Copies of this chain bind each other. A is one copy, B any other.
Amino acid sequence: MELIEEGCDVLLYLDHRRTYLVKVRGDREFHTHKGFIRLGELIGKPYGCAVESNLGVRFYALKPLVRDRVLKTERRTQVIYPKDMGFILLMADVGPGRRVVEAGTGSGALTLALANAVKPNGRVYSYEIRPEFQRGARRNIERAGLAAYVEFKLRDITEGIEEEDVDAVILDMATPWLVVPHAYKALKGGGVFLSFSPTIEQVMRTVSALRGYPFIEVETYEIMLRRFIVEENRTRPETLMIGHTGYITVGRKVLE
């Protein structure tokens, strides 16, 4: 059984809307509007345990999942949602050992999911042109213990990709179509190009660029997720849903 240690992150869960990502320091207290929690009390307890604040309110101390960290990412930019992230990882075949180019790094939310998926022997090359974004993302990745699997690059990916023979190029940026020639060059045969774009115009330009190179299976998708509320005599889909985040365009390099 895995126990909580000094220096680990825990997700303190009060209820569905109130969770806190906290580093465990034996000499610290974590203050909430429901009282404070002595973090030292957590050390040596199993993940998933209950802990009470000084006001007697119960919290649970969870080991953060990738999706928890994604949701807790400092958001300077729009973050890719879990509904899209899972599909992106599957479509780009991101798994242990893969070498993946990503741009832009942004808040590092997708970087984090990629890094977790390629470990222990794969690598993520993450391009970003804004130093302050890179710094924030680096903090998130280090905190998640995934720094060994990510190479952060302060470069403009529209000017070229330095890596060769990579398994996938994954883009979440304003002008993905400008990266298509570089992606073709950087990918290995059969490698996956994937772009996430909010607008139709981006999709049109990207698909058009892909058709100028030997990419096959060029397809665009959108994913809709709806929460379903299950309560006796009140079972129904949620009233408000996220209607759109972005389109996902995929292609696969072949050799001519």
Contact = CB atoms under 8 A, between A and B. Distances in A.
How many monomers of this protein are in the complex? 4
B83 A96 contact: no
B243 A238 contact: yes
Considering residues A60, A117, A227, which has the most beta carbons from chain B within 10 angstroms of its beta carbon?
A: A60
B235 A200 contact: yes
Interface residues of A, number: 81
B189 A252 contact: no
A49 B226 contact: no
A33 interface: no
14 contacts: A1-B165, A16-B217, A47-B188, A47-B190, A49-B255, A60-B190, A62-B254, A66-B95, A85-B90, A90-B113, A199-B234, A201-B232, A203-B228, A228-B247
Interface of A: 1-2, 13, 16, 46-50, 60, 62-63, 65-67, 82-83, 85-91, 93, 95-96, 113, 116-117, 119-121, 165, 188-192, 198-201, 203-204, 207, 216-217, 219-230, 232-245, 247, 249, 252-256
